[in-house]
Structure 1
Amino acid sequence: MRTVAEHTRVVHALLDPVFARLAAAPAEHLPIDDPALAGRATATSLVSEIPLPPFDNSQMDGYAVRLADFPPPPSREPSSSGSAAPPRPAILRSSTNPAPPLR
């Protein structure tokens, strides 16, 4: 059985020549919609010149709220007609939407 150090040396021995060949290859400049890009990697990091998305957005779906900030929910007890009160509406908050203004 190999030790972690031995396994690391074997993996480096296999991958180092591949990385050396990749580092020596010249970079190509292709348009972003070129079909030849499929399955390829960038030679350098890509950085946007504008904020993406171009609006403030939340980084997580939904918001945390305090229960004390809301009125008590309507009764869920059956009414005289035998039906329960309708549930209160909820709004889905997606991280891809613009964030609402801070108050």
Structure 2
Amino acid sequence: MYSKKELNLFIDKQGIFLENKGVTLTKIKNYLLTSDLSYQILYAVLTQDKVDTYYFCLTHGTSHSTLRRKIRSINSELSKYGFHIICANNFAIKGDEKKLRNFFSVFL
């Protein structure tokens, strides 16, 4: 993720040392979040009306069953906010428009 000029890990007999030259925790956190499948699912449903399930699985290197499991897991968390993701040939988020807009602004 980073070049050796930005972040370098040294392992020797004295121990392990991480040399940081300008990498922030925010940069690392953003990278980890955007590489997570749950984040990708939420981002897709919040920015698009309907997401093609086949195309999403193909572009993110995941199976349809894994996608469904992740959506079930996400839905268990989203249910307390009053909306959920439906999944078939396409997947989309359903719920009160005002709540979705508020969640979208906080999410991004």
Larger helix share, 1 or 2 = 2
Q: Which has the higher contact order (CA 8 A, sep 6+)?
A: 1
Higher fraction of strand: 2
Name the TM-score, length of structure 2 as normaliser: 0.19
Task: Give me the TM-score of the superposition, normalised by structure 1.
Answer: 0.19
